Structure 1
Amino acid sequence: MPEHTSARPAPPATSAAPVAPVAPATRYPIRPDERSGMLHPRNVERFAAAWIDPHPSVAAVVDRYWHVTWNLPEGEHIDQRIIDHPAVTLTIEAGDVPAPLLVTGVQRGAWRRRITGSGSVFAIRLRPAGLEVVSDLAVRSVADAATPVIPTLDARVHRLLATVEPEADAAARAAAADDAIATLLVERPLDAEQELANAVLVELAERVHERTGTTLGAGLGASDRAVQRALARTVGHGPKWVTRRVRLQEVARVLSTDASVQIADLAARLGYADQAHLGNDFRGVVGLTPGAYQRSVRTAMAGVGGSSSS
């Protein structure tokens, strides 16, 4: 689901016991003009959708909690597509949904789901380091799929979600997830490679308007090879792929919110060699050229057709 660029993660707790939250969770609506990766972000206005910040004690594991609820008229649907963040997401779902508990891996293409009827989702979007803390799953084993979480898939992550699921609302679920993940983090503290992977993704999101260059590793006090290994282990892709992913989220944000933008100018602002390179990247993930996508956004905003798309 949507991406929200956040500050550098706080270091994990180092005490022998989990750190309990000391203040209510910060909750705020997901906005259509955010770098969410939603290809038609105005759809968010049809949901009750919000972010919840994780407690600082687990911010090295959890990037963001989010939750949505929907109730569509009979016969109506929304084809939701997202250039999702390069991250693994755990969800607790109810209503017209594929399964009650899911793990969604890093996707090479745009994530897609047809939304119908009514339902709700509470999500735990992990940082790169997070999957190894909360589960015994390898990042590549869940890539390009949304897999039901059952005990035989992975007992550790199933216990986590089963602990959080009974809570009455999203805020209570976030608090329960904070507590449970803090305990898991004490059991499996991050190593240096996991911390590097977290820092790389934050850095790439913050410098989306710059070329990657050869200074990424140097700026983080690591070699380029170390960066490559850290991302391969935790995300399943290298820094060039992750950079393209974050940039494409920015492409979608700009094209869906600024009708006057010229694609060639946008390519230059984002550090692409030229408009053709941007177009090839975007079409490879979305299946549309940037121009065709821009026109589809305008059509959707004009209210053409009975059902919403993307």
Structure 2
Amino acid sequence: MNGSDTAPPSGAFYREHRPVLPHPLVECSWEQRVDSDAFVQRVLPDACADLIVSTAGEATVVGPATSVQLPRLSGGERLRGLRLRTAAIGPALGLPAYELRDLQVPLRDLFPAREAGRIADQVRRGELPSFLDPGAREPRVERALGGLRRRARVGDIAEDLGMSSRHLRRLVLANTGLEPRTLSRIARFQCFLDLADHTAGPSLADLAARAGYADQAHLAREVRALSGLTPSALLAERRGAA
């Protein structure tokens, strides 16, 4: 599948809405509609999870992904979603987050039918679901994620938090669904995308160095593994969709 297969058509609309007040569990809500023909959308790993409600009323929890996802969106499709922060996936949903890794699970499989229906209605209206408890968070995982984004070693992060590396890995995996190494890869990949989106005319070698890759070849391998495209093709696709 090439980039043109996944470039959103001109009739596709997507918008994110940040909470008026920052929420410890929620990254954003979002809405998407397709006013043109069906297309395959390239969804890149961001270490978050989403609650998604479709036009037909189907409510799904999409777990944290370790590689690109390519869902097909139909013409006339309308979606509303709520994106959970990386550290909040397990605490928010009340289960080990690794049980959702690379999976799409009906909301009714995680909550009683009546509560699942209420949550779906709230997401559809763009509201924060009432089941979200701001106190259901693990500050140590948030600190660990900050260290991983700064490219700190797992052993150093664990020592700073007063625990063993093994304990840290278990804690991070249960809360985020992903291993620290995978989280580091995704954070570096997202850094590359952010730099490319906000830097005028950068070279791939410069982007690779600034994002923390060993060299341009390392960048190319990681980008293909996480997006399914070469860096040049991925950036061209993103520019075409902007």
Which TM-score tier does this pair reach, normalised by the shorter chain? 0.7 to 0.9
Alpha carbons of 1:236 and 1:135: their partners in 2 closer, same or farther (altered >3 Å)?
A: closer
Q: 1:132 Cα deviation (Å)?
A: 3.8
Q: Tell me, yes or no, if the aligned pair for 2:90 and 2:177 is still in contact at 8 Å.
A: no
Give the 5 Å matches for 1:1-310: 46-53=12-19, 59-60=23-24, 62-73=25-36, 76-95=37-56, 100-150=58-108, 153-155=109-111, 159-167=114-122, 170-171=125-126, 173-174=127-128, 177=129, 179-182=130-133, 189-190=136-137, 194-205=138-149, 207=150, 211-213=151-153, 215-220=156-161, 222-256=163-197, 258=199, 260-297=201-238, 300=240
Q: 1:112 Cα deviation (Å)?
A: 2.2
Q: Tell me, yes or no, if the aligned pair for 2:90 and 2:176 is still in contact at 8 Å.
A: no
CA distance in 2 between partners of 1:44 and 1:226 (Å): 48
Q: Percent identity?
A: 23
Deviation string 1:113-170 (CA, Å, 9 cap, x unpaired) is: 22222233332322345344444543233221222222xx2235x5544223335964
Deviation string 1:188-246 (CA, Å, 9 cap, x unpaired) is: x55xxx332233234544x3xxx333543445555544432221222232222101101
SS of residue in 2 equivalent to 1:230: helix
Q: Tell me, yes or no, if the aligned pair for 1:217 and 1:223 is still in contact at 8 Å.
A: yes
CA distance in 2 between partners of 1:107 and 1:294 (Å): 20
Q: Which amino acid aligns with 2:35?
A: L
Q: Tell me, yes or no, if the aligned pair for 1:67 and 1:170 is still in contact at 8 Å.
A: no
CA distance in 2 between partners of 1:166 and 1:53 (Å): 18
Count of residue pairs the alignment pairs up: 236
CA distance in 2 between partners of 1:103 and 1:276 (Å): 35
TM-score, normalised to structure 1's length? 0.63
CA distance in 2 between partners of 1:204 and 1:68 (Å): 30
Q: 1:55 Cα deviation (Å)?
A: 5.3
Alpha carbons of 1:268 and 1:45: their partners in 2 closer, same or farther (altered >3 Å)?
A: farther
Q: Which amino acid aligns with 1:92?
A: V
SS of residue in 1 equivalent to 2:98: helix
SS of residue in 2 equivalent to 1:82: coil
SS of residue in 2 equivalent to 1:124: strand
CA distance in 2 between partners of 1:104 and 1:168 (Å): 14
Q: Which amino acid aligns with 1:181?
A: L
SS of residue in 2 equivalent to 1:112: coil
Runs of 5+ unmatched residues, structure 1 = 1-38, 303-310
Q: Which amino acid aligns with 2:17?
A: W
Q: Which amino acid aligns with 1:66?
A: S
Q: Which amino acid aligns with 2:43?
A: I
Runs of 5+ unmatched residues, structure 2 = 1-5
Which of the pair is proportionally richer in helix? 2
Alpha carbons of 1:257 and 1:301: their partners in 2 closer, same or farther (altered >3 Å)?
A: farther
Q: 1:47 Cα deviation (Å)?
A: 1.4
- Which residue number in structure 2 is paired with residue 306 of structure 1? none
Alpha carbons of 1:180 and 1:301: their partners in 2 closer, same or farther (altered >3 Å)?
A: closer
Q: 1:257 Cα deviation (Å)?
A: 5.4
SS of residue in 1 equivalent to 2:132: helix
Q: Which amino acid aligns with 1:105?
A: G
CA distance in 2 between partners of 1:120 and 1:52 (Å): 19
CA distance in 2 between partners of 1:159 and 1:129 (Å): 27
